[in-house]
Structure formats: structure tokens, C-alpha cells
């Protein structure tokens, strides 16, 4: 079954450093998403991406965050200057269509630890 692949599985970074989290969505999917989950809390939406531009973003997704699809396969989330509170699991997801009668496929996540 097709999978969404995320790398690395775990990243430790120093506060103030830039990090890039990488995702390879399912190849024929058109919609891409990033979510995060702080330990013990709910899964939270960050951003959705379609046709090479952001289609929706949450209030969490401030100027420190950016997303890119640098080539035909990768989808990245960059955090420019990490803070301690950015420590969380980050999940990438993709969907074939963005319609409400389609499901998403999530990756296994990247655990980001900011020290």
C-alpha cells in the first residue's frame, strides 16, 4: 500500500537553529498537509498546500514556518529559528483529492526536540 514517508524520524536541534523536515507524499496525490502534536496534546493543523501554493494555514503557522515543494516528490516544512515550544511530533499528510469524501494518508512523523 502506498505510504507517506517522513525523514528524519527524530531530530534534535538547538534553540534558534533552522530545521527542515522532509516528506515524500504519495506520488499521485495533489494536496499536502503538515500537522503537529505536542506531547500529550491534540493533533493540530499547520498548513495545507495545493498547486504549489499554501491553500490554508492556521494561526500557529507564523512567519517562522514555511513550506516548499522543491521538486516533484518532496514536500518540506522549514522552521527558521526554533523555539523550545516547537518541540513536537510533526506529521505530513497527503490526499488524492482535497474533497471531503476522500481520506488523508499520514506519515509516521518526525519527532523534533529543541534543546
> In the complex with other proteins, which residue's Cβ is closer, 3 or 68?
3
Under DSSP, the state recorded for 60 is T
CB 84 to other proteins: min, Å: 22
Residues 31-70 contacting other proteins, CB under 8 A = 31, 33, 35, 42-45, 48, 50, 55-56, 58
Total binding residues toward other proteins, as defined by CB under 8 A? 28
Residues 69-108 contacting other proteins, CB under 8 A = 91, 93, 95, 97-101, 103-108
Q: What residues pair up with 82 in beta bridges, in sequence order?
A: none
> In the complex with other proteins, which residue's Cβ is closer, 17 or 97?
97
Residue 27 within binding range of other proteins, rule CB under 8 A: no
Q: 17 near 82, Cβ under 8 Å?
A: yes
C-alpha torsion angle, residues 28, 97, 79, 58 (rounded to 10): 180
Cβ within 8 Å of residue 113, ≥6 positions away = 10, 11, 12, 13, 87
Under DSSP, the state recorded for 38 is -
Q: Which residues of this chain interact with other proteins, rule CB under 8 A?
A: 4, 31, 33, 35, 42-45, 48, 50, 55-56, 58, 91, 93, 95, 97-101, 103-109
Amino acid at each position: 500500500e502506498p505510504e507517506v514517508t517522513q525523514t528524519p524520524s527524530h531530530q534534535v536541534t538547538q534553540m534558534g537553529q533552522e530545521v527542515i523536515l522532509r516528506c515524500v507524499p504519495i506520488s499521485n496525490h495533489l494536496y499536502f498537509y503538515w500537522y503537529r502534536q505536542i506531547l500529550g496534546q491534540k493533533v493540530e493543523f499547520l498548513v495545507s498546500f495545493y498547486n504549489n501554493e499554501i491553500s490554508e494555514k492556521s494561526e500557529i503557522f507564523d512567519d517562522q514556518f514555511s513550506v516548499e515543494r522543491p521538486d516533484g516528490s518532496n514536500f518540506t516544512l522549514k522552521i527558521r529559528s526554533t523555539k523550545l515550544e516547537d518541540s513536537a511530533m510533526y506529521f505530513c499528510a497527503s490526499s488524492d483529492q482535497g474533497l471531503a469524501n476522500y481520506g488523508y494518508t499520514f506519515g509516521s512523523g518526525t519527532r523534533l526536540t529543541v534543546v
